[in-house]
Each structure stands twice: as structure tokens, then as C-alpha cells.
Structure 1
């Protein structure tokens, strides 16, 4: 599907971008453009990929529509990863989150349509389901803009993919915990009952490709992901560190945080189908030509919602997941 194609990755110098580019290169694309605003991160990434001639780096910000239009020239696929992602940052600076996560997403849509891009893939988050913080709210608005773009007079198709926490990404709880264990001899968790969805980065990108290949446009693909208690994750990392007398400290929930995350809300479950063993698909409330007919062969989900408190991994299963991701 990506053979001889030109691909644009917004926010491509982050953890998702590295793994996405690594896997995209195996499909023999013509060119992969990395669009981001951090010069030093681009320089580092270029070195990491040994100056691969198929990679080109474009300094730009998704808040600048004209820069995106220029970057989208002759592009076939856009993977839209760029966002302000940290909950506290978005709570403290909601206007910046709005400009990047909402207006920036609309700029991506406009640029893709103007440049006749074949497909845009928007990477969303579990925090967009029934959002309790500004980050989640802004990503939910981005989802709505992406879905609505399929009603416009364009050949470009737009699809959303919603996932939970990906192990080892920048700012990941794994890195935070490991650093705290080594430097402080204690781990801070917000609440002992807190649970989260987790997936390895490699598996997350494989699922993204699957949804890219099989989507119609206008739907939200929801990854089925294993869940665990954050406190159990902390215990496994402490045991793996072999450091003795490491304490666990309860810090209290930060503004906008939930005890359990949702990948599928109660409202969304009424229009969701069970796609396969790896995905649910949320169908939009608005009409998109042929979409509901295409998914009519799939069964509706038998769920009130899909939240991270269910089917929790054991400590042994968490350990295996961490080993697979090479974190222990």
C-alpha cells in the first residue's frame, strides 16, 4: 500500500514517529517527510536513521496552514501525530492546546484536501472518550473535525485511530518510575486504584497500519488493549530493579485525571460494532455515504463501555509485556 508512495508524518520526531517511520521504511515508500517544529530533534532523528535518503525533514508547525500546504505537495498519506499531549500542560495552557490540537488538525485537513492527499490517519487517545481534561476535550474535537471532513467534496479519506498508553513513549510512566526507583528509592503514584490501557509501541503501529489499510473513512478504530493497575506496574518495575526498600508513595489525583480510562464511552457504544479480535469501530452520528451499509455485516458491541478497570493483567502478565517491550 505504501510502495513508491510519499508519506507525511506530522510530529514525526516523537516516540510514535520513530517507530512509525521504522515500520514504514519496510514498505518501500518513495519518500517520508517528517514535519515538526524542533530542529534538534530532527537532527537527532536523521542521525538515528543513518541519513536514510528516503527521509526528508521539514521544520514547521501545524498551527501554520501555509507551511502544511507546502509540506503536503504530492503526498499520498498523512499520519497526523502532532499534538500537545501532556495533561497538566494542556490544563495550564488551554489556548495553546486549542490552537495545536484543534486548529492545527483543521489545518492538516485543509492542506490534505488542497493537495489531493489520498488518506489522512489521525492518532487519537483514550482521553478523548468522555473527556475530563482539556487535552482529552481538544483531541475529541480533533476527532470530530476529522470525521466531518469525510462529508466534504473531496476524494481524500479521513480516519481516526484511538489507543491508550503506549509503553516507553516520551514522558511514559515507565521511564518516570524507573528514574524514581534509581534516584529516589521511592515511586509516586496518584491513586492505588488507578488503572490504564497499555500496549507496546511496535504493536500499536502495526494496528495503526491495519486500520489504515482496512478503513473506509469517517469511522474511529478503537484498539483493544490490555489493562493493568498502575500500582502493580510499579511493583513489577521495583522487583525487576533488584533495588531494596523502595517505597510506594500515594500523591493524589492531578486535575483532570481519571481513576479509570475509557476507550469507548457509554454514548459511543450505541453506534459501535465488533470489528475483529483487535478492534472495535465507532460509527459516526453524522451521515457518511456508504459507511453504515459497509459495517452492517458486523455485530453491534455487547458493552456498556470499554474501560481500563476490566480484565486486568496479573503481575506476571505485566512482567511479560515489559519484557516484550525490552523495558526489563
Structure 2
């Protein structure tokens, strides 16, 4: 699919972008364009990944004209750029709206204008039954991407929804590891659970969904969940540090105790694709899409992090596999 093709990645200098670009390079593309706002990050990435097929473009998804120009001659777009931290989006909702909603619509329009073959929008579990502004903006972004399939048949638009990625920028994993050195881990609430995937596995699934998507689906990565307290205790045990305290300071604005990958309402239109994915099918009519997945089994109920909890030993093994523990 990607061999000898031109691929553009918005927000490509982030932690998702690094892994995505490394995996895409192995698929023999003609060119990969990394579009982002941060000049320093682009320079750093160009030095870390020395490959003549990489091209760097300074640009902001809020700038429609810049996107239209950047998308010229592009076959596939991976849309990763977003404001992603819940507290930031709660405190500055207008900025989150500009990037996550208006920016996504700019990506859609630029792709349509340039007849891009496929756009793959990366979303989050917080878009399912959202309670914070970040989740709301990503939910609207998903709706816009799905709806775009009704505008033109030249470009296919799909979404991929995942839980938290271990070791990503701002990850709780890195935060806890730094706090252990200071003898105190700070947790908002010990009851909280979250979905987690390793970065390598998440990107493999992202590329798989990009390959099989027909247009209009929301691919939901199946994930196991952890108690945040269990993660903290595993890291403390493996660190060898003594007398590390775990301190609760209360949930922050927009946080909830458990995440959901599929809401109760969405489950009515969700099917089991395989061992990796559930697929939320659109409520709007996209010709042939529901018929394509007609043989897939339906899902019953929502998909909550409180129901798929790993043991501490399983958490440790996943951290080892991800390269975070020896």
C-alpha cells in the first residue's frame, strides 16, 4: 500500500510520530513529509533519523492555506497533531478547539482539494462518552472525519482510537519514574484505571488499520487496563528505592476514574473485527460499509478500563517488553 507512495504526517515529531515514521520507512515509501510547528523538534528528528526520503515542513494545522500547499502530491495522510493534555485543554478550551476541531477540518479540506487517497485520524479513548474538553474536541474531530466520506469518493477517511501509549510525551510512566527518585509519587486518585499500549504495538495496529480501512470506520485498539496505583507500586518495587511514598492529591478538572474505549451508545453499532480491533460503524449511510462488515459479530455493552485489569506481574512483563524495565 505504501510502497513508492508519498506520505504526510501531521504532528510527526512527537513520540507517536517517531515510531510511525520508523515503521513506515521499512515499507519502502517514496517520501515521508513531517509537518509540525516546532523547528527544534524537526532538526532533532532529522539528526536522529538520517534518511533521504524524509522531508520536513514547518506548518500549523490551523493554517488551511499552508496545509493545501503541503498536501500537494500526497497519497496518504496520518493526522497526529493535537493538543492532548486534559488540564491544558480545560484551562484553554479555545486553543484546543482551534487545533483539535478547526485544525482537523482544515486537514479534511486540504486532503479533499488535493485528492489524497486516504486520511488516517488518530483519536483517543477520551473521545468515547467524553466528559472533558479534550475528549469533546476529539469526538467532534472523529465526527468530522467520518462525515467527510460523504463529501467525496476520491478520499477515504478513517479514525483510530486508542488508550494511553507507554513512554509518550507527558506519559505518567516517565513522571512516576522521575518522582521515585524524589521518594514521593503523586497520584490523583488510587482508584483510577487507564488503558495502556506499548508504542511499537500501537503503531503496528495504526498501520494495519490504515491498510484495511474502507472509509467511515472508527478502529478501536483492543487494550488491557491498569490500576494507576499498581503501575506506581511495580515501578517502586523494580527501582530498588526504599521509603517511597504514594500521595493522593485529588482528581484534576476533567479527569474520570475509568476510561471507556466504546460508549454504551456506540456499542449498538460496534462489531468485533479480529483479535486486534473493534470497529465502530457510522450511524450515517456510507454505501457498502455496513455490508462489508456484515459477518462480524456485534459488541454488547461498553468497553471500560475497570473491566480489563492486568495483574501487577502482567504490568511488569509489559514494561519489560516495552523496554522500560530490565
Q: TM-score normalized by structure 2?
A: 0.99
Query: Distance in 2 between the 1:154 and 1:103 partners?
Result: 22
Query: Distance in 2 between the 1:131 and 1:319 partners?
Result: 30
Task: Return the offset for 1:153.
Answer: 2.5
Query: Distance in 2 between the 1:152 and 1:105 partners?
Result: 15
3-state SS in 2 of match to 1:35:
strand
* 2:276 paired residue among 275, 278, 290: 278
Q: Deviations 1:48-90 (Å, cap 9, x if unpaired)? A: 002x110000000000001111110100000000000000110
Query: Distance in 1 between the 2:33 and 2:212 partners?
Result: 23
Q: Give the 5 Å matches for 1:186-225.
A: 186-225=184-223
Q: What is the match of residue 252 of structure 2?
A: 254
Gapped runs of 5+ residues in structure 2?
Answer: none
Q: What is the match of residue 26 of structure 1?
A: 26
Query: Distance in 2 between the 1:152 and 1:295 partners?
Result: 22
Task: Return the offset for 1:285.
Answer: 0.9
Q: What is the match of residue 118 of structure 1?
A: 117
Gapped runs of 5+ residues in structure 1?
Answer: none
Query: Distance in 2 between the 1:7 and 1:268 partners?
Result: 31
Number of residues of Structure 1 aligned to a counterpart in Structure 2: 325
Task: Return the offset for 1:304.
Answer: 1.1
3-state SS in 2 of match to 1:155:
coil
Query: Distance in 2 between the 1:284 and 1:95 partners?
Result: 28
Query: Distance in 2 between the 1:136 and 1:203 partners?
Result: 23
Q: What is the match of residue 98 of structure 1?
A: 97
Q: What is the match of residue 108 of structure 2?
A: 109
Query: Distance in 1 between the 2:213 and 2:124 partners?
Result: 18
Q: What is the match of residue 315 of structure 1?
A: 312
Q: Is the contact between residue 113 and residue 154 of structure 1 (CA under 8 Å) also seen in structure 2?
A: no
* 1:263 paired residue among 251, 261, 264: 261
Q: Deviations 1:132-191 (Å, cap 9, x if unpaired)? A: 100000000000000000001341000000000000000000000000001x20101111
Q: Is the contact between residue 112 and residue 152 of structure 2 (CA under 8 Å) also seen in structure 1?
A: no
3-state SS in 2 of match to 1:297:
coil
Query: Distance in 2 between the 1:63 and 1:215 partners?
Result: 26
Q: Is the contact between residue 86 and residue 134 of structure 2 (CA under 8 Å) also seen in structure 1?
A: yes
Q: What is the match of residue 8 of structure 2?
A: 8
Query: Distance in 1 between the 2:212 and 2:193 partners?
Result: 30
Q: Is the contact between residue 132 and residue 256 of structure 1 (CA under 8 Å) also seen in structure 2?
A: yes
3-state SS in 2 of match to 1:196:
strand
Query: Distance in 1 between the 2:28 and 2:274 partners?
Result: 28
Task: Return the offset for 1:251.
Answer: 1.1
Query: Distance in 2 between the 1:45 and 1:177 partners?
Result: 26
Task: Return the offset for 1:240.
Answer: 1.1
- 4+ residue segments displaced more than 6 Å: none
Task: Return the offset for 1:226.
Answer: 1.0
